[in-house]
């Protein structure tokens, strides 16, 4: 607290004037100045930071409050002039917290709400969802792909607590429901607050979909004062965190020959010594190719750029916040110089935001918020996942990626690329797949919001009325242009002139791109909200608050390729309320309700009522709280809540109106023919879904128990234990057989599940001296679920039933080891009816040989079948997510790092996606390094006995392919330098900072084949490691 008072010694002071500035001496407009008990006479500082408050007595205490700054308090005494320097709040939590539909004092918040500092979300990636993992207690998150435009992270509030249709949280930006894609594209520079709402008291007001938690984001508003312009420009280089290592051509051929003889010792090697040796020597790469398909298709790195400019300011009447951002993202694909189009991923994205607040009168405020996202996407015509899959399926030595036209003069003037292939061109050529077309997509998303707020203090102090109307429009148009590749095979013949090479055209292609294949989709929605709010303190101890909110949302899907149900408008109505009471800053009680309607259900189930209640006690404000404790634990708070929350997102948009049947009147499978020659026929009728007027809301009963502690004014600790019981989950009755005469699945609200867990956070804020500060955060979330009952089939074998296991539990076989020899096979249970052949040549694909996987006979019936499947591993969704990091600064330098961790998750390697040699497909280096063979009969080798065909026995989901998904990652690392003030003032700047940062720099995991966060399918677009440099300026 810094104070420079000018004292006028008067016997009685009625008016105090002064100037309020920050530590840099910049005037602060909008600071609240008032005396306790005389709040109605309070004022705010003007645009120049000046104020004058009257009606004060000498024994009054005058308060200065401003969001983000420490509250200053002074005795009036004989002062007539009081200048105040406001210090930023580095050691205290925000005084207010964004809760459902309003702000609430931090001390009175009972609900489980976790906030994130917006600066922590500024990571060197264009996708905001990738910054959430480990930074928010209670949020389970993971990222499976690094593909630009498709790299959204999956996230769940306190884990997955339903096996119904929707398990993701409700996302609100400025009070409007948006998709995870909208959240991903939100610019961190525009975020004022980011909160996760987890328990019933925090989410019940939202009713529909509040059962899965709520992510609540508010964007920045303008502040009174001179215009302030900020700019942030950064350039980054992205590279894969890990690349699959494939066999080179020579190693491939040698191992392929071994694989042939592994199943048939008498087999003639496919690849001759002459071909292997010429390939090794690099002779004539057209005829003896050695293709590194990954290297031919992908670059080592991509360069991306991003720029954001904001402007804010305003006067007494209007305040504004404007922002424009540009992002350019690029993929790793190479582009063939012979093509006149770009098949690489290139995304140009523009974010435009304007938030304007206008004080229409002294008691009336209007706000307009407009946001537009415009995106132009260019990429390959084929899905990138299929291109990566083609690399795995391609053969490195059977043909070149393309043939040089000079090798056969008859094709020297061909106006197309000569793509390599063999046979009937039935083998994948990934390069041809990549460069044979492109996709061009334009997306626009616009949100417009108008809000009017009226202070009704003329009726009674603390009463306010607010109305909001918004419109959202989304449209996307995609054009795909392709050409058919010309495939050629290369042959050689010996003549008197030596070896002659000739090309043979295998397929007819097209030399130009075809007409575009176009698809379009468009949606729009309208949202209306009216709220009446009351907050007032009586007798300095009784803090009463009330809120009543009505809302309506209507969505239109004007263009869609889905069925009629999906294209019809959808509507939700709701009435919500909250009543809060606080006594003397010590005891708090809160009641909430949501009364929500959904047109998905029949009339008697259309509306749902979801109440909740919460209690809080700040022990540290009690008179009996020892002063010695106050120095160590300044704040100690207990809280608890219980309530119901509803979810109407129980099925896809194409499966709505459950009280209506869905009949297919033109089903060829149910047609009939008649006539003398049965030449006349008509399609028949079938039922896709039976009407069920009893379908209703999915209900979640949530309980939360928490404690908040401040230690030494340095550490803020929150610890919460939560439980949830989910009922009326919409599921299929799998136990109903089709012999009952039904043609469609029978479904109902029959599922039940429960979950529990803990989440905790520890925040460190320590100003060591005026030059050195440290801040840090540790988050830990453990959330586990349990299946209680549902429509699943009940098996005689108890280990096959879902009850008691996690909702994401996987079932499979227990692999004991690899078979040692034939005697081992004869003395073991029969493997899936497979037979043991005495012949050295094994023809049937279900035959088992030494080196194949041996499974455990769980039910001891002498054979391995589906009855031996048990729950194995952890769920594929992590049950534990944690993160920790430190930020520190000394004078002009700052440094920060953040680690993200994940635990208690498992995934299965898909053996069918990486099995080598089948249909001449490629092979991973790890297979060559560790496989079972007669010379290496390791019963625990990574890969079973080699084969050139798929072995069904070895491709079962089993513990053999089960892997631990745990990892610890250095998520971000940043170093910054703030240019000294004396220097930047000469440039007309208020602040300038250079920064260097990295993302996904290190990963520690037991799993080494690919990035463990990608899960079981690691041959897709890899997650990216990013190196970033940028500059931040303001003036």
- Would you say residue 111 lies in a domain? no
Same domain, 749 and 678: yes
- Would you say residue 834 lies in a domain? no
**Is residue 435 over pLDDT 70?**
yes
Same domain, 708 and 625: yes
For 631-686, the pLDDT digits (tens) are 899 999 999 999 998 888 888 877 888 999 888 888 888 888 887 777 788 888 88
- What's the pLDDT at 47? 65
Q: Over 247-313, what HEC string results?
A: CCHHHHHHHHHHHHHHHCCCCCCCCCHHHHHHHHHCCCCCCCCCCCHHHHHECCCEEEEEEEEEEEE
Same domain, 636 and 658: yes
Sign of the alpha-carbon dihedral angle for 785, 136, 585, 542: negative
- Would you say residue 840 lies in a domain? no
How many domains are contained in the chain? 4
Band (pLDDT 50/70/90 cuts) for residue 751 is very high
**Is residue 688 over pLDDT 50?**
yes
- Would you say residue 977 lies in a domain? no
* DSSP symbols for 437-485: EEEEEEEEEEEEEEEEEEE-TTTSTTEEEEEEEEEEEEEEEEEEEE-PP
Angle at 167 (CA atoms; ends 166, 168), nearest 5 degrees: 100
- What's the pLDDT at 834? 74
Same domain, 703 and 739: yes
- Would you say residue 817 lies in a domain? no
Look up tokens 């005891």; give the residue: 587
| 192 or 440, which is more confident | 440
- Single out the residue in 768, 790, 812 at which a domain terminates: 768
Give Cα 683 distance to the centre of its chain. Answer: 44
Look up tokens 């309003």; give the residue: 102
- What's the pLDDT at 90? 44
Band (pLDDT 50/70/90 cuts) for residue 10 is very low
- What's the pLDDT at 611? 92
- What's the pLDDT at 256? 96
Same domain, 509 and 562: no
* pTM, 2 dp: 0.85
Spatial separation of the C-alpha atoms in residues 482 and 515, rounded to whole Å: 8
- Single out the residue in 743, 768, 793 at which a domain terminates: 768
- What's the pLDDT at 192? 86
- What's the pLDDT at 208? 62
Q: What six digits make up the tokens of 198?
A: 């987890």
Same domain, 512 and 437: yes
- What's the pLDDT at 105? 63
Instruction: Give the start-end residues of each E strand in 81-224.
Output: 84-86, 96-99, 102-105, 113-116, 139-142, 154-157, 170-173, 176-178, 191-197, 214-219
Q: Over 727-771, what HEC string results?
A: EEEEEECCCCCHHHCCCCCCEEEEEEEEEEEEEEEEEEEEECCCC
- Would you say residue 530 lies in a domain? no
- Would you say residue 427 lies in a domain? yes
- What's the pLDDT at 844? 42
- What's the pLDDT at 178? 87
Domain ranges, residue 638: 543-768
Band (pLDDT 50/70/90 cuts) for residue 452 is very high
3-state secondary structure of 951: coil
Q: What values do phi and psi take at 539, rounded to 5?
A: 55, 25
Same domain, 685 and 565: yes
Q: What average pLDDT does the segment 719-724 reach?
A: 95
For 458-511, the pLDDT digits (tens) are 999 999 999 999 999 999 999 999 999 999 999 988 877 778 889 999 999 998
Q: Over 694-711, what HEC string results?
A: CCCCEEEEEEEEEEEEEE
Specify the CATH number for the domain of residue 71.
2.60.40.1120
Average pLDDT, the chain: 88
Strands 863-864 and 830-831, bridge-based pairing: parallel
Q: What six digits make up the tokens of 693?
A: 């007027």
**Is residue 202 over pLDDT 80?**
no
Same domain, 590 and 467: no
Longest dimension (CA), the chain: 123
Same domain, 377 and 469: yes
- Single out the residue in 753, 768, 783 at which a domain terminates: 768
- Would you say residue 780 lies in a domain? no
Strands 1024-1034 and 991-1004, bridge-based pairing: antiparallel
Q: Report the 10 Å Cβ neighbour count for 761.
A: 22
For 28-76, the pLDDT digits (tens) are 877 888 887 777 677 888 767 889 888 888 888 888 887 667 888 888 8
Spatial separation of the C-alpha atoms in residues 130 and 151, rounded to whole Å: 8
Same domain, 273 and 360: no
CB 32 within 8 A of CB 63: yes
Q: What average pLDDT does the segment 920-926 reach?
A: 94
For 268-303, the pLDDT digits (tens) are 999 999 999 999 999 999 999 999 999 999 999 999
Spatial separation of the C-alpha atoms in residues 527 and 556, rounded to whole Å: 12
828-853: b (≥16 Cβ within 10 Å) or e: bbbbbebebeeeeebeeeebbbbbbb
Specify the CATH number for the domain of residue 668.
2.40.170.20
**Is residue 835 over pLDDT 90?**
no
Band (pLDDT 50/70/90 cuts) for residue 143 is confident
Same domain, 631 and 573: yes
Same domain, 414 and 304: yes
For 794-827, the pLDDT digits (tens) are 899 999 999 999 999 999 999 999 999 999 999 9
Strands 214-219 and 170-173, bridge-based pairing: parallel
- What's the pLDDT at 806? 93
Look up tokens 């959904």; give the residue: 598
């Amino acid at each position: 607290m810094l104070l420079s008072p000018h004292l006028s010694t008067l016997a009685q002071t009625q008016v105090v004037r002064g100037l309020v500035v920050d530590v840099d001496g910049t005037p602060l407009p909008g600071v609240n100045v008032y005396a306790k008990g005389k709040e109605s006479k309070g004022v705010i500082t003007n645009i120049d930071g000046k104020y004058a408050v009257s009606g004060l007595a000498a024994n009054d205490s005058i308060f200065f409050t401003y969001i983000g700054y420490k509250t200053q308090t002074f005795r009036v005494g004989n002062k007539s002039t009081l200048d105040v320097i406001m210090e930023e709040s580095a050691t205290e939590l925000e005084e207010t917290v964004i809760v459902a539909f309003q702000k609430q004092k931090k001390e009175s918040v009972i609900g489980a709400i976790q906030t994130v500092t917006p600066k922590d979300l500024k990571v060197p990636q264009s996708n905001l969802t990738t910054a959430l993992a480990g930074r928010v207690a209670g949020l389970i998150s993971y990222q499976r792909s690094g593909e630009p435009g498709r790299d959204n992270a999956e996230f769940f509030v306190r884990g997955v607590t339903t096996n119904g249709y929707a398990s993701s949280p409700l996302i609100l930006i400025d009070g409007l429901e948006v998709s995870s894609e909208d959240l991903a594209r939100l610019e961190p520079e525009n975020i004022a607050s980011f909160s996760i709402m987890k328990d019933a008291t925090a989410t019940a007001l939202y009713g529909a979909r509040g059962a899965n938690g709520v992510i609540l984001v508010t964007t920045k508003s303008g502040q009174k004062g001179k215009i302030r312009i900020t700019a942030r420009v950064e350039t980054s280089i992205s590279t894969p965190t890990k690349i699959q290592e494939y066999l080179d051509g020579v190693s491939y051929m040698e191992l392929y020959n071994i694989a042939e003889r592994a199943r048939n010792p008498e087999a003639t090697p496919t690849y001759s010594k002459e071909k292997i040796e010429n390939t090794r020597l690099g002779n004539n790469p057209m005829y003896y190719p050695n293709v590194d398909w990954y290297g031919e298709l992908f670059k080592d790195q991509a360069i991306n750029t991003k720029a954001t400019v904001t402007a804010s300011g305003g006067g007494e009447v209007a305040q504004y916040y404007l922002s424009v951002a540009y992002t350019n993202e690029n993929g790793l694909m190479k582009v063939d110089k012979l093509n006149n189009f770009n098949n690489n991923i290139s995304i140009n994205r523009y974010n435009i935001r304007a938030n304007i607040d206008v004080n229409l009168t002294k008691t009336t405020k209007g706000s307009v918020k407009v946001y537009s996202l415009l995106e132009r996407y260019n990429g390959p015509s084929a899905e990138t996942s299929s291109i990566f899959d083609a690399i795995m399926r391609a053969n490195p030595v059977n043909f070149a990626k393309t043939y040089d036209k000079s090798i056969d003069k008859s094709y020297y003037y061909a106006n197309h690329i000569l793509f390599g292939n063999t046979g009937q061109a039935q083998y994948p050529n990934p390069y041809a797949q990549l460069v044979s077309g492109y996709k061009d997509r334009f997306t626009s998303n616009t949100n417009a919001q108008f809000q009017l707020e009226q202070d009704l203090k003329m009726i009674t102090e603390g009463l306010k009325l607010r109305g909001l109307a918004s419109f959202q429009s989304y449209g996307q148009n995609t054009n795909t242009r392709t050409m058919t590749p010309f495939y050629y095979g290369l042959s050689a013949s010996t003549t008197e002139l030596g070896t002659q090479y000739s090309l043979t055209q295998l397929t007819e292609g097209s030399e130009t791109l075809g007409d575009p294949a176009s698809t379009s989709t468009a949606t729009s929605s309208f949202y209306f909200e009216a709220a009446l709010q009351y907050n007032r303190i009586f007798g300095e101890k009784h803090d009463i608050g009330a809120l009543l909110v009505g809302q309506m949302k209507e969505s239109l899907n004007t263009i869609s390729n889905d069925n009629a149900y999906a294209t019809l408008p959808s509507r939700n109505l709701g009435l919500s309320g909250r009543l809060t009471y606080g006594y003397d800053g010590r005891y708090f009680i809160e009641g909430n309700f949501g009364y929500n309607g959904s047109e998905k259900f029949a009339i008697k189930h259309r509306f749902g009522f979801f109440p909740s209640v919460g209690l809080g006690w700040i022990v540290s404000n009690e008179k009996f709280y020892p002063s010695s404790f106050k120095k160590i634990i300044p704040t100690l708070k207990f809280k608890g809540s219980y309530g119901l929350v509803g979810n109407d997102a129980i099925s896809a948009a194409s499966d709505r109106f459950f009280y209506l049947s869905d009949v297919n009147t033109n089903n060829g499978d149910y047609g009939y023919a008649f006539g003398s020659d049965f030449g006349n026929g008509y399609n028949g009728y079938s039922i896709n879904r039976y009407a069920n007027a009893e379908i209703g809301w999915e209900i979640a009963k949530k309980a939360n128990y928490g404690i908040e502690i401040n230690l030494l004014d340095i550490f803020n600790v929150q610890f919460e234990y939560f439980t949830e019981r989910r009922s009326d989950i919409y599921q299929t009755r799998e136990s109903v057989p089709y012999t009952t005469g039904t043609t469609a699945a029978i479904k109902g609200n029959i599922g039940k599940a429960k979950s529990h867990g803990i989440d905790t956070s520890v925040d460190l804020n320590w100003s060591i001296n005026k030059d050195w500060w440290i801040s840090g955060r540790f988050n830990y979330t453990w959330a586990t679920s349990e299946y209680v009952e549902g429509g699943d089939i009940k098996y005689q074998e108890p280990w096959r039933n879902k009850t008691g296991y996690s909702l994401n539990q996987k079932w499979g076989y227990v692999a004991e080891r690899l078979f040692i020899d034939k005697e081992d096979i004869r003395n073991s249970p029969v493997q899936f009816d497979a037979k043991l052949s005495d012949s050295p040549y094994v023809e049937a694909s279900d035959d088992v040989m030494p080196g194949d996987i041996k499974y455990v006979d769980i039910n001891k019936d002498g054979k391995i079948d589906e009855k031996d499947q048990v729950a194995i591993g952890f769920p594929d969704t992590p049950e534990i997510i944690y993160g920790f990091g430190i930020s520190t600064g000394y004078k002009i330098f700052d440094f920060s790092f953040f680690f993200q961790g994940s635990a208690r998750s498992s995934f299965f390697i898909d053996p069918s996606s990486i099995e080598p040699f089948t249909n001449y497909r490629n092979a991973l280096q790890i297979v060559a390094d560790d496989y079972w063979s007669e010379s290496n009969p390791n019963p625990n080798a990574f890969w079973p006995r080699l084969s050139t065909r798929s072995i069904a026995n070895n491709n079962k989901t089993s513990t053999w392919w089960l892997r631990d998904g745990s990892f610890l990652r250095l998520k971000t690392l940043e170093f910054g330098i703030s240019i000294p003030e004396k220097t930047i003032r000469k440039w007309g700047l208020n602040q300038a900072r250079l920064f260097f940062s990295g993302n996904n720099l290190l990963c520690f995991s037991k799993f080494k084949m690919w990035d463990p966060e990608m899960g079981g399918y690691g041959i897709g677009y890899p997650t990216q490691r990013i190196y970033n440099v940028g500059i931040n300026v303001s003036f």
